Amino acid sequence: MKKRQLAAGILAAAALPVRAALAQAAHRHDGDAHATVQPDALRWTAPPAYARGAQFAVVRGDPTREGFYVVRLKVPAGFRIAPHTHPNDENVTVLSGGFNIGVGDRLDETKGELVRAGGFSFVAKGMTHYAWFTQETEIQLHGTGPQGITYVNPADDPRRR
């Protein structure tokens, strides 16, 4: 009987949605939480804060709340993110493709730096920056939330359209 109860418990735990399981793990502070996420378990959505074509997935945590989070952003070739700031430090790892990043109030593709797959970029809280992508790219962002984006020019904000 105990084996059946144990098996039923394992099956019930396995049936929990990945995000809910990760959210529980993200709130543990005792240092012994463990979570893994396979690529096919990610739930991709169209983020309202980015132009059409972007896809967004939460890997761990909740970027809208206080605490640690990990998210992914996939964009097509030709995608641009207008000059903006974040209320928190931004840590970006390029998983595939290439991420061009520049600093300043005006998107200028003659300035900035290409971060190739496997590379990392850090942007401090409040620093105005922009990005463009010449190829399909997937990046992973992590930090301490709440995370957000404020466009320098409000007309560039897709949420206002």
Where do the domains of the chain lie?
Answer: 35-160
Q: Identify the pLDDT of residue 104.
A: 97
Q: Identify the pLDDT of residue 132.
A: 98
3-state SS track over the chain = CHHHHHHHHHHHHHHCCHHHHHHHHHCCCCCCCCCCCCHHHCCCECCCCCCCCCEEEEEECCCCCCEEEEEEEEECCCCEEEEEECCCCEEEEEEECEEEEEECCCCCCCCCEEEECCCEEEECCCCCEEEECCCCEEEEEEEEECCCCEECCHHHCHHHC
Q: Identify the pLDDT of residue 85.
A: 98
From first to last of the 161 residues of the chain, give the pLDDT tens digit: 444 443 333 333 333 333 343 343 344 444 557 889 999 999 999 999 999 999 999 999 999 999 999 999 999 999 999 999 999 999 999 999 999 999 999 999 999 999 999 999 999 999 999 999 999 999 999 999 999 999 999 999 999 98
Q: For 35-160, which CATH superfamily applies?
A: Jelly Rolls (2.60.120.10)
d(CA 46, CA 30): 34
Phi and psi at 86, nearest 5°, equal -130, 150
Q: Identify the pLDDT of residue 31.
A: 55
Closest among 149, 129, 56, 141 to 90, alpha carbons compared = 141
Could you tell me the sign of the dihedral formed by the alpha carbons of 112, 118, 123, 128, in that order? Answer: positive
